Structures are given as C-alpha cells and as structure tokens.
C-alpha cells in the first residue's frame, strides 16, 4: 500500500520510499480532477458554497503529497528525488493549467463573482471569491484557445527550468571543497571553526581541514582567515556557481526564464512580468517599487560610500592594501567592528548555544502569544537531525505541529526557510491545525563543543521562527487564505519583526547564557550588540537594494535583446557597486530567490517589509517589548488573519496608522 495515499495526520516519512512519489502524485491529480468534475457537473445554480468553497477544498490530498515531496527535495534530496521532480513538475503545472483554463469551471466562478454584491459575504468570503476569480483571470481563463495552449507550454517549460536552475546551484555548491593540510594557512580562523573543518575532512577520510561553500563553513572562512589568496579562491568559487563552462551553467537558463516570463505576461495582457506580479502586491506597480528603492538608495548611498572609504583606509593602514576586493569586505569589517565596539563574534558564540536559543524563542512566543512547545518523539521525521514539537496554548488546546531542522547536509540546499506540511483551515466545523517546519544551516556541534551560533545565525533563527508563528497561529476558514498565504511584500513582516527581540536586553536575558558557566550575557555585550546593529548599515542597505533592483531590471522590461547575463548584470548594478568587478563571477546564475524560489519581481519585499517591521516594533518599544495588549493586537490582526483582508487594512488595524520609513531610517542610523 502506498503510504502517501493512506489517510495520515503527520507526514509518514519513514514509510515512504522514492518509488511511492510518482504513483501518489498521479493518483492525487486524479482525485483532484474528480473533485473539480463534481463542481462542474453540479446541475444547481452556482453559489458561493457549491462553487467557491467547494473549489477551495479541492486538491487537499495532492497538496499534502506534493508538500512532502518538494520539501524533501529542498531539505533531504538525492539524484533520484531530483529526477522525479523533473518528471512530476510538468504534470503539476499542466494540472494547474487544467483548472485555471477550464472554461466550464471559470464560468461557474464568474457567475458567483458577478453576483457578489447581492451575496452578503463576510470580508473573508469576499476575499476568497475575489482571489479565486483573479487566479483564473490572471492565469489565462479569458484567453482564446490557441493562446491557452501557448500558456500551458510556457508554464510546463518554466517549471522544469526553475528546478534545473536549483539543481545546478546545489551541484556547484557540493562540487567545491577547499582541502587544506598546512595549519599555517588557517591563521586567524577560530578554533571552533577549525574543529568543524577537521570533522568534515575526517568524514571523508582525509587529513587536515576541508571547507565548503555551505554557509557555516564559507562565511567564517571569509570573515577570519588571514591568507588573502585563499579567501580570494573561496570567494571566487562561490561567485562562479552556475557561471562556469560546465554542465551546471545557468546562463542560458536565466535568459530562457526571463524571456518566458515576459512572453507569459504579454500573453495575459501585462506589459512585463513585474507588472503582472505586482498587481497583487502591496506595492502595486514596478514604478512604485523603483521609486521606493531609489528613495532608500538616496538615503543609504552617501552613508555606504563613506563606510566603504573608511573600510578601505582601515585595510590600507592595517595591511597596506590599495584596493579593497569582495573577499576583503567581511574580513576587514569584522576587524574594524571588533576595534570600534570591542565586539567579536567568537566572544558572543558561547552565549548562543543552539538549544538555549530555541528555548529563548519559545519563551518569547509564550510571553507574547501564550504558546507552549513540548518536544515529542512519536512524530515521524525525515532525518535524525529534525526535532519535533507539539504546540499548545495555555489551556492545553492543540495549536500546531512544529518541525525544526538545523544543520547542513549534503542533500540540503543552502540558506534558511519556513514551510508547511499541512495548512490550517476550518472544514466541517473542525479547525484543522497546521504542521509547520523551519529548515536552517547552522554550525554543527563538534566532539568538544555544542552547536554555538553566531549572532547572525541567532537572528536567522528568530526570522524563520517569525514565519513559523504566522503559519502556526493561522486561524481562517479557508486554506488558500491561511497563514503565510498573504501578499509577498507583507509575508516578511512577522519574520523580520521577531528579529528585533534579539537586540533587547530583556529578551536576551532569557536565553543568552554561557554554555559552560551558565552566566547571562554581560550587559556590556548587549549594549555593544545594540550599538553595532547599525554598523555598515549603509553598505548593507545598498547591497539589499542592489539585489532588488537587479530583480526589477530582469523582470520589469522586455528581456529579448539581452544576450549576456554578465553585461546586463553589470549595468543593473551600476548605481550600487562598491567593490571592483570580478570577471569570473556572476550573481544571477545562483540567484535562487528569483529563479528558483517565488521572489521574482518581489525581492524588494525584504526592504518593504523592513519599513513595516521597524514601524511595528516601535509600537512595542513604546509600550514594552512584552506588552500583552500590543502582542495580542499583532496576533489578532496580523498573525492569525493570513490573507483574509488587504494587508494595509490589517496593518492599520494593528498599528492605528499607515507605516512611515522614519523608524527604519532611524534604526539603521541613516537619519
């Protein structure tokens, strides 16, 4: 019996074999099609219940199966899973098109939509109906038959291309290792990082130390190793991902993706892919995004140039370096930061033992939102590293299942993300609670030390946990509006606001305890963390804006004349470049956010959400960071509401007014 086709509550990972996926997905599509047919062949007049709601409940089985499959393709993949992904992705995109391009189904949806004024709907019902209608209209339901065929072809190709893009990036990440046998080459690198590299070498039966392009290996190497040539080698290797003359080159794929997205947008009556995407975002238009970005750029650029000049002078004074290169940035920034604030990442790490940080984020969630987390060992998991928790409220009511997967592995892509295995909805009067997961790549424990996080990793954990709260506290009727199903430039608010607690003395006292002595992090360190929070914020802002503007350039114009990824990129970066150009590196060929993930024409949303998060956190600062009243307003108007209303309405209900960028500029030290 195929475990994926049985009824299950939590995902039955240990029972699933790779052979189960294809037949299960095939069957899931069949079941979903039958559910759709039932709606179409209903002889009664289309109503909100028999059409709109019925459609929202379709495909549940398929969604559960594909969420397991694609989550594992990111967190625990192998060649076989990747091959299956290439096969099933076109099936799924074809099935998606079968729904949105189904004339009989659209006719029913449109009938309900056209009578919406007389239906006396709640705001959530009205939103469901509007989103459903738009998902048809925006995906080709009004097209003529030949155009529909063209659209299907584009979608099938795009789904394969973005998968291939991601596989190539992962292959390039895994293909590189720097094997060092002379310890003097590692001067400057902290012992804990050396030990981690030695364990990687040991695991492959080699002497010495091995460094990889996985972030917990790569970032410390660039930050601490004195040997400039080796830093250069490492940085160039990372920048070459997808940009080498080999089978994993992504240049053609990038150009194909942007051209197909543009053709798709044109086919649907939009000027560009960015116009298509942004119609459904808070920002609304590419012009507004570019204006927003340029506005911040104007404030950040003078600060960034000044910071860069200071860093150059510092490197020259220290080591006689005439020209600061990309592989020097993290190294000299860390040294300068240490000098200015007497603050060293290595000094902080002993206070951030992973288990303590997890305990801390749980305690903060408890104080703000009345949540309790209990680690349980009876929930199936896909890898022994994964931790599983039952989440309840203060009265013991079940809220969610929570999975957490913290360390790098060969089958896991870089970075950190939140995802879900089951979304929340209310069906047959039962509030079905969600199963939420976060996946990170944090420093592993070694033989002599537990997993000790850098401060950057601490904020990453809080960030992903903020997304998880958005998923766990979801409380809506319909799954398509539930949890993180919100417009993309609003989705980062819950994650980014939670990072703020990492900088607050009251919050740090709960979990920042020395792993050997139990001593709470000294107040002088807390003050330095806060002081140094806006260190090089001009340069950081410029960097984020440069990625957002590159994304807008790729997707906000007709790309058909672009022949060189590299040249195009250099043009897009012209206004934001600080470091000299590296000929053998490109950003786009490994820019997974926009070519593999869902951030195309949406990368700006990190900065957009920062404006929201700084403004929202200012409210907490005014009333107290654990103020129950403010936390409850945030929970009731933002975290639990999902996409049931327009984001700005939800925000204003929480905050009492629209957000202004002032809080962000102040926090960043830019005004």
CA distances from 301 to 296, 536, 538 (A): 8, 11, 7
Question: Could you count the other beta carbons within 10 Å of the beta carbon of residue 344?
Answer: 15
Q: What's the pLDDT at 428?
A: 92
Model pLDDT for residues 108-152, shown as the tens digit of each residue: 999 999 999 999 999 999 999 999 999 999 999 999 999 999 999
Region of 320 (left: φ > 0; alpha: ψ -120 to 50; beta: rest) is left
Write the DSSP symbol of residue 452. Answer: B
Q: What is the mean pLDDT of residues 271-297?
A: 95
% residues pLDDT > 90 (the chain): 94
105 and 34 together in one domain = yes
Give the Cα separation of 420 and 403 in Å (integer).
9
Q: What is the mean pLDDT of residues 640-668?
A: 94
Q: What's the pLDDT at 530?
A: 87
Q: What is the CATH number of the domain that holds 445?
A: 1.10.1370.40
Structure tokens at 502: 């990492």
Mode of pairing for the β-strands spanning 430-432 and 425-427 = antiparallel
39 within domain boundaries: yes
Q: How many domains does the chain have?
A: 3
pLDDT band for 669, please (50, 70, 90 cuts): confident
511 and 424 together in one domain = yes
440 and 367 together in one domain = yes
pLDDT band for 318, please (50, 70, 90 cuts): very high
SS3 432: strand
Write phi, then psi, for 599 (nearest 5 degrees).
-95, 10
Q: What's the pLDDT at 209?
A: 98
Write the DSSP symbol of residue 139. Answer: T
Residues in Cβ contact with 209 at an 8 Å cutoff, skipping those fewer than 6 apart: 179, 180, 181, 183, 186, 194, 197, 198, 200, 201
330 within domain boundaries: no
Q: What's the pLDDT at 488?
A: 87
Give the Cα separation of 507 and 328 in Å (integer).
34
Structure tokens at 398: 């079940």
Give the residue from 518, 533, 548 where a domain finishes.
Answer: 533
Give the Cα separation of 136 and 138 in Å (integer).
6
CA distances from 232 to 227, 332, 532 (A): 9, 14, 27
Q: What's the pLDDT at 345?
A: 83
Give the Cα separation of 254 and 656 in Å (integer).
43
* Residue owning tokens 């599983």: 388
Closest CA to 400 of 409, 389, 410: 389
654 within domain boundaries: no
- Taking 90 as the threshold, does the pLDDT of residue 619 lie above it? yes
Q: What's the pLDDT at 346?
A: 87
Closest CA to 281 of 654, 561, 643, 529: 643
Q: What is the mean pLDDT of residues 651-665?
A: 93
482 and 380 together in one domain = yes
563 within domain boundaries: no
65 within domain boundaries: yes
Give the Cα separation of 24 and 12 in Å (integer).
13
Element (H, E) at 532: helix 523-532
Q: What's the pLDDT at 343?
A: 83
Q: What's the pLDDT at 369?
A: 98
259 within domain boundaries: no
- Taking 90 as the threshold, does the pLDDT of residue 102 lie above it? yes
Question: Could you count the other beta carbons within 10 Å of the beta carbon of residue 561?
Answer: 7
Contact at 8 Å (CB) between 404 and 383? no
Model pLDDT for residues 206-229, shown as the tens digit of each residue: 999 999 999 999 999 999 999 999
122 and 206 together in one domain = no
109 and 222 together in one domain = no
Model pLDDT for residues 551-583, shown as the tens digit of each residue: 999 999 999 999 999 999 999 999 999 999 999
138 and 180 together in one domain = no
113 and 190 together in one domain = no
443 and 386 together in one domain = yes
Q: What's the pLDDT at 670?
A: 86
Q: What is the mean pLDDT of residues 591-595?
A: 96
pLDDT band for 199, please (50, 70, 90 cuts): very high
Q: What is the mean pLDDT of residues 413-420?
A: 94
Alpha helices in 342-485 (DSSP H): 345-348, 354-369, 455-472
Give the Cα separation of 370 and 539 in Å (integer).
38
Give the residue from 484, 501, 533 where a domain finishes.
Answer: 533
Contact at 8 Å (CB) between 443 and 196? yes
Count of positions (residues) in the chain = 671
Contact at 8 Å (CB) between 471 and 590? no
SS3 165: helix
Q: What are 388's strand-pairing partners?
A: 403
Model pLDDT for residues 41-55, shown as the tens digit of each residue: 999 999 999 999 999
Q: Would you name the residues annotated as active-site residues?
A: 464
Structure tokens at 27: 């069957």
Q: What is the mean pLDDT of residues 478-497?
A: 95
Q: Within 13 Å, how many C-alpha atoms sit on residue 107's CB side?
A: 8
pLDDT band for 295, please (50, 70, 90 cuts): very high
Write the DSSP symbol of residue 377. Answer: S
127 and 182 together in one domain = no
Give the Cα separation of 282 and 489 in Å (integer).
6
pLDDT band for 598, please (50, 70, 90 cuts): confident
* Residue owning tokens 């989440």: 391
* Residue owning tokens 């070519």: 595
Q: What's the pLDDT at 535?
A: 94
196 and 53 together in one domain = no
Contact at 8 Å (CB) between 65 and 25? yes
Structure tokens at 472: 């766990």
Q: What's the pLDDT at 531?
A: 87
Give the Cα separation of 111 and 313 in Å (integer).
68
Q: What is the mean pLDDT of residues 359-381?
A: 98
Segment among 386-390, 557-561, 663-667 with least mean pLDDT: 663-667
Model pLDDT for residues 6-42, shown as the tens digit of each residue: 999 999 999 999 999 999 999 999 999 999 999 999 9
Element counts in the chain: helices (H) and strands (E): 27, 9
- Taking 90 as the threshold, does the pLDDT of residue 671 lie above it? no
Give the Cα separation of 209 and 66 in Å (integer).
39
504 within domain boundaries: yes
Q: Within 13 Å, how many C-alpha atoms sit on residue 335's CB side?
A: 21
Model pLDDT for residues 185-197, shown as the tens digit of each residue: 999 999 999 999 9
Domain that holds residue 79: 3-142
What value does the mean pLDDT of the chain take?
96
Q: What's the pLDDT at 344?
A: 83
290 within domain boundaries: no
Q: What is the CATH number of the domain that holds 30?
A: 1.20.1050.40
385 and 482 together in one domain = yes
% residues pLDDT > 70 (the chain): 100
């Amino acid at each position: 019996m195929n475990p994926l086709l049985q009824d299950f509550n939590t995902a039955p990972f240990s029972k699933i074999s790779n052979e189960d996926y294809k037949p299960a997905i095939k069957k899931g599509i069949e079941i979903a099609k039958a559910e759709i047919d039932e709606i179409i062949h209903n002889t009664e007049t289309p109503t909100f219940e028999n059409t709109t709601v019925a459609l929202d409940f379709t495909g549940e089985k398929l969604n559960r199966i594909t969420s397991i499959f694609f989550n594992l393709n990111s967190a625990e993949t192998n060649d076989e899973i990747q091959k299956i992904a290439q096969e099933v992705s076109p099936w799924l995109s074809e099935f998606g098109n079968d729904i949105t391009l189904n004339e009989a189904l659209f006719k029913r949806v449109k009938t309900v939509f056209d009578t919406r004024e007389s239906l006396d709907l709640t705001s959530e019902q009205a939103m469901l109906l509007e989103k459903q209608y738009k998902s048809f209209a925006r995906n080709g339901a009004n097209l003529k038959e030949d155009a529909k065929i063209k659209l299907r072809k584009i979608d099938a190709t795009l789904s394969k291309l973005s998968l291939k893009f991601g596989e190539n990036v992962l292959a390039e990440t895994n293909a590189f290792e720097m094997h060092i046998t002379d310890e003097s080459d590692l001067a400057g690198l902290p012992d804990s990082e050396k030990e981690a590299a030695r364990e990687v070498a040991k695991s492959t039966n080699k002497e010495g130390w091995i460094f990889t392009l996985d972030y917990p290996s790569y970032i410390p190497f660039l930050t601490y190793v004195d040997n400039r040539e080796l830093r250069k080698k490492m940085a160039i290797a990372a920048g070459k991902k997808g940009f080498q003359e080999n089978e994993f080159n992504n240049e053609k794929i990038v150009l194909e993706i942007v051209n197909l997205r543009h053709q798709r947008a044109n086919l649907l009556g939009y000027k560009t892919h960015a116009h298509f995407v942004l119609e459904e975002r808070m920002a609304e238009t590419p012009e507004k995004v570019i204006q927003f970005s340029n506005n911040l750029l104007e404030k950040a650029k003078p600060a960034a140039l000044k910071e860069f000049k200071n860093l150059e002078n510092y490197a020259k004074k220290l080591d006689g370096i005439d020209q600061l290169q990309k592989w020097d940035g993290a190294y000299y920034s860390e040294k300068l930061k240490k000098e200015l604030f007497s603050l060293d990442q290595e000094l902080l790490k002993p206070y951030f033992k992973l288990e303590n940080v997890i305990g801390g984020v749980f305690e903060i969630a408890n104080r703000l939102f009345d949540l309790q987390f209990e680690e349980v060992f009876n929930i199936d998991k896909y890898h022994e590293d994964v931790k599983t928790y039952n989440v309840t409220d203060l009265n013991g009511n079940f809220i969610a299942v929570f999975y957490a997967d913290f360390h790098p592995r060969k089958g896991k892509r870089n970075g950190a993300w939140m995802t879900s295995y089951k979304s929340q909805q209310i069906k047959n009067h039962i509030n079905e609670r969600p199963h939420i997961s976060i996946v990170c790549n944090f420093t592993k424990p070694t033989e002599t030390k537990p997993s000790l996080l850098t401060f950057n990793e601490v904020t990453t954990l809080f960030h992903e946990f903020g997304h998880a709260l958005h998923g766990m506290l979801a409380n809506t009727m319909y799954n398509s509006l539930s949890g993180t199903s919100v417009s993309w430039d609003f989705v980062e608010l819950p994650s980014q606001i939670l990072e703020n607690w990492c900088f607050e003395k009251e919050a740090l006292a709960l979990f920042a305890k020395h792993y050997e002595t139990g001593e709470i992090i000294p107040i002088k360190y807390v003050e330095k963390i806060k002081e140094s929070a806006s260190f090089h914020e001009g340069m950081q802002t410029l960097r984020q804006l440069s990625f957002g503007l590159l994304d807008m350039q790729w997707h906000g114009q007709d790309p058909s004349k672009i022949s060189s990824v590299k040249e195009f990129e250099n043009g897009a970066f012209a206004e934001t470049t600080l470091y000299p150009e590296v000929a053998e590196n490109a950003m786009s060929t490994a820019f997974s956010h926009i070519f593999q993930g869902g951030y195309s024409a949406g990368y700006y949303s990190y900065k957009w959400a920062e404006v929201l998060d700084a403004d929202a956190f200012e409210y907490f600062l005014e009333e107290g960071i654990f103020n129950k009243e403010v936390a409850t307003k945030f929970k009731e108007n933002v975290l639990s509401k999902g996409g049931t209303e327009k984001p700005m309405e939800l925000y204003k209900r929480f905050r009492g007014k629209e957000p202004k960028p002032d809080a962000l500029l102040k926090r960043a030290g830019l005004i």
